[in-house]
Amino acid sequence: MKTEEIIAQLPYSKPFLFVDKILNINENGVEGCYTFDASLDFYKGHFKDKPVTPGVILTEVMAQIGVVCLGIFLLNKKFNSNTSIALTSNEIDFLKPVFPNEKVRVISEKIYFRFGKLKCKVKMLNQKNEEVCNGIIAGMIV
């Protein structure tokens, strides 16, 4: 399955699609990137005069690239419009802020995928290759 096909199958659209490109993907993990456009609505109020990307959005980026894209790849042709995806758990440590117009890279390693549950170790790096957050994210694909 081509990376463009995986992105096209994501159940999200702008402004809530947080995957620009999948750089590498295989049965053990995925690496992808996203650039935070300064015009995104949440920057207007988080925080006044010094916008920072909310942690919940960073978590969503890691989930979309690190779990959902990988899940679509692992399911291959079995993924369709009747497939549902849900976050089941996450534990994320935030280490550095991410600012408007910053490009991030997400690297995910599969811990396990069985009975429709995918659990991954995920980290996000900024353009300086500094780790900005990391953790474990799990989701169900049914």
The catalytic residues are 46
The tokens for 114 are: 């069985």
- In 10-84, the DSSP E strands lie at 21-26, 29-35
- Single-letter amino acid code for the residue at 96: K
With residue 131 as reference, give the H or E element that holds it.
Answer: strand 131-141
With contact defined as beta carbons under 8 Å apart, do 18 and 64 qualify? Answer: yes
Residue 47 CB neighbour total at 10 angstroms: 9
